[in-house]
Structure 1
Amino acid sequence: MHISRVDLNLFTVFEAIYTEGSVTRASQKLNLTQPAISHALGRLRQMFDDPLFVRQGHTMVSTPLARNMIEPVRRALRGLEVTLNGLDQFDPATMPKQFKLGLRDVLEATILPPLIMRVSQQAPLADLAAIHVDRRELEGELAAGTLDAAIDVLLPLSNKVLHKRIDQDSTVVVVRKGHPEIDGALDIATYLKQDHILASSRRKGPGLQDFELSRFGLERRIRLRCQHYFAACRVVSQTNLILTMPGRYARIANQQFDNQILPFPLEVPAFDVFLYWHSNVDNDPANCWLREQIVQSFQAQ
């Protein structure tokens, strides 16, 4: 089928229905009537000889063909959008925009306050959404434009995803005040004697600190595994368990708990924080502006 015979607006409708899971919400997103969305869906179904979406309750569930189509369609729409936007300069003072930033929860408390202050001051019509993303899906989300940028540790991504180191952080140990064995100083022998908390979104497997310890032939006892550092800091404040975590977030999370924050008792390298974006938006004015605000927000801390 030659592209000259295809109405490209149909693919905008396809992406909206897929994302929203509803003809009603797709019509609201695109500011079109429901009959117009239904008519476009009918044309798509005829074009591909496939229902594409099947209603289950109140949700439109995609067929296998639709699931295979969505990423190429998103990439194509994103490329066209970038091309069109690149024809004009992005004026943050006057242009409405929603920026979507892939972000681990440990970085939210660190970067969001200064970043949203900068965005609000310079781009009053812009919104910011911080989104958790599976690292396995990160490259696809950046390529499709469902993420504008992401912040994470160094990841094994293709050369289509560009990156820049924007921060370094140290590893610290959090211990309650009044701990019977630790008061203002911590050596490796005392560290290894303690029961530890591991904060991780993964269900199993070691933490980064465990890899560092293993390099020295050392191992610690994990007594509690939980999902979030904030919860772990509260547990520390009420028990003799200790927590190893990034230093910048430790200082934020422990303000209300008044825990001790001590250096990690081994010489380990600081871990780097990187900003990621796709090569297809490298010269996009809006994306360039967002990346600059992120960099400046880290530098201001």
Structure 2
Amino acid sequence: MRFNKLDLNLLVALNALLAERNISRAAEKLYLSQPATSGALSRLRAYFEDELLIPSGRQLLLTPRAKELVEPVREVLMRIGTTIAAQPQFDPAAETRVFTLLVSDYTTAVLIPPLLAELYREAPNLRIHLRDQSDRPGEVLEQGEADFLVIPSQYTAKDHPSAALFEEDYLCVTWEGNTRVHERLTFDDYLACGHVIATFANHSTSSLPTFDGWFMESFDVKRRVEVTAPTMSALPALVIGTDRIATVHRRIALRALETLPVKVWEPPPRIPRLVQMLQWHKHRSNDPALSWIREKIIKTAAGV
């Protein structure tokens, strides 16, 4: 299909090239060979009369014209996918599409198991891809790399709709043999203990702080971090045999209390309740399949 002499299939290639800034990675994303992707870039350069991507060492840099195209191209493709390509009717029993949710390990432990059971009852052939938490949830959503984000309220993108799922608060966990904390956990005890925390880093150099970490940083509470882990749910086990402390979601702490030699305490710095949100792209609000799944997620979360 062409529009003003532009093969619209090239827009898909352009979107991948602008996002990846690497011909090999763009080719993988497009399921094309590297020569075919290079050929698409040549045709795009000719059409726009601009280099678009300029080699600089081992990477490609966007020209000013290419930077101007990033958002419009992504927007056009998203609109095509949601208004033209989307099926007007949705039959859960026959649906075989793959839907991607960006979730934390906490969400995976608390929300996903009952959600999968709920979906399986009516849509057994539907496939779910769970993607790790990211330090760029807004970008993931914009690029169509996830159908839904399940993230704390402070990380939601302002330009896209969202719905509250459930709230959560925090408890501190120590080994039952901890020599620093006895009858109660004071603020001085909290600061004196070494901390075990979760960090969620990916391919970038930055990481997405947990909600409690974001709060502590906001109010300049300095914790002495001695252990970092890529998962929140594992933290209670990592304090065993030490005088360290972990601050985790209440549900995780209470589960650990049932099976591990640990004690739980109210955190002396009063951490606000976490509001877990569901977010989706504004142009996909009317997709029948996504609307159905969205309702199931909200219904399941109400039971959590």
TM-score over 0.5 for the pair: yes
* Cα distance change of structure 1 residues 210 and 144 upon mapping to structure 2, 3 Å threshold: closer
Alignment RMSD, CA only? 3.9
How far off its partner does 1:287 sit? 2.0
- Whichever residue aligns with residue 127 of structure 2, its letter is A
Within 2, Cα distance between the matches of 1:40 and 1:213? 50
CA distance in 1, matches of 2:174, 2:248: 11
Matched to 2:159, the amino acid is K
Q: Within 5 A, what are the aligned runs for 1:2-151?
A: 3-16=3-16, 21-22=23-24, 25-26=28-29, 28=31, 40-52=40-52, 62-65=60-63, 66=66, 69-86=69-86, 88-121=88-121, 122-134=123-135, 137-151=136-150
Aligned-partner Cα distance in 2 for 1:173–1:253: 11
Q: Tell me by how many angstroms 1:182 deviates.
A: 4.3
Which letter does structure 2 place at the counterpart of 1:132? Q
Shift in alpha-carbon separation, 1:70–1:116, aligned structure 2, 3 A? farther
Q: Structure 1 71/104 Cα, relative in aligned 2: closer, same or farther at 3 Å?
A: farther
Gaps of 5+ in 2: 200-206
1:295 corresponds in structure 2 to 298
Q: Could you say which residue in structure 2 is the equivalent of 1:226?
A: 228
Partner of 2:213: 207
Shift of the 120–258 alpha-carbon distance from structure 1 to 2, 3 Å rule, reads farther
SS of the residue aligned with 2:89? coil
Report the equivalent of 1:186.
Answer: 184
CA offset digits 1:35-83 (Å, max 9, x no partner): 76565444223212345567999x9x54414565344312210111111
What SS does the corresponding residue of 1:298 show, helix, strand or coil? Answer: helix
Q: Per-residue CA shift, 1:134-162, capped at 9, x if unaligned?
A: 2xx43343233222221122226564222
The SS at the match of 1:164 is strand
How many residue pairs match? The answer is 288
Identity among equivalent pairs (%): 24
Counterparts of 1:27 and 1:169 in 2: how far apart (Å)? 40
Distance 1:24 1:159, change over 3 A: closer
Partners of 1:223 and 1:159 in 2: CA distance? 32
Q: Deviations over 1:107-159 (max 9, x none)?
A: 3322332333344442414232323322xx43343233222221122226564
Alignment of 1:248-287 (within 5 A): 248-252=251-255, 257-265=260-268, 268-287=271-290
Distance in 1 separating the partners of 2:5 and 2:296:
42
Q: Is the 8 A contact 1:198 1:226 kept in 2?
A: yes
Report the TM-score when normalising by structure 2.
0.75
Specify the SS of the correspondent of 2:84: helix
The answer to whether the 8 A contact 2:161-2:281 is kept is yes
Give the corresponding residue for 1:153: 152
CA distance in 2, matches of 1:129, 1:204: 20
Which residue in 2 is equivalent to 1:168? Answer: 167
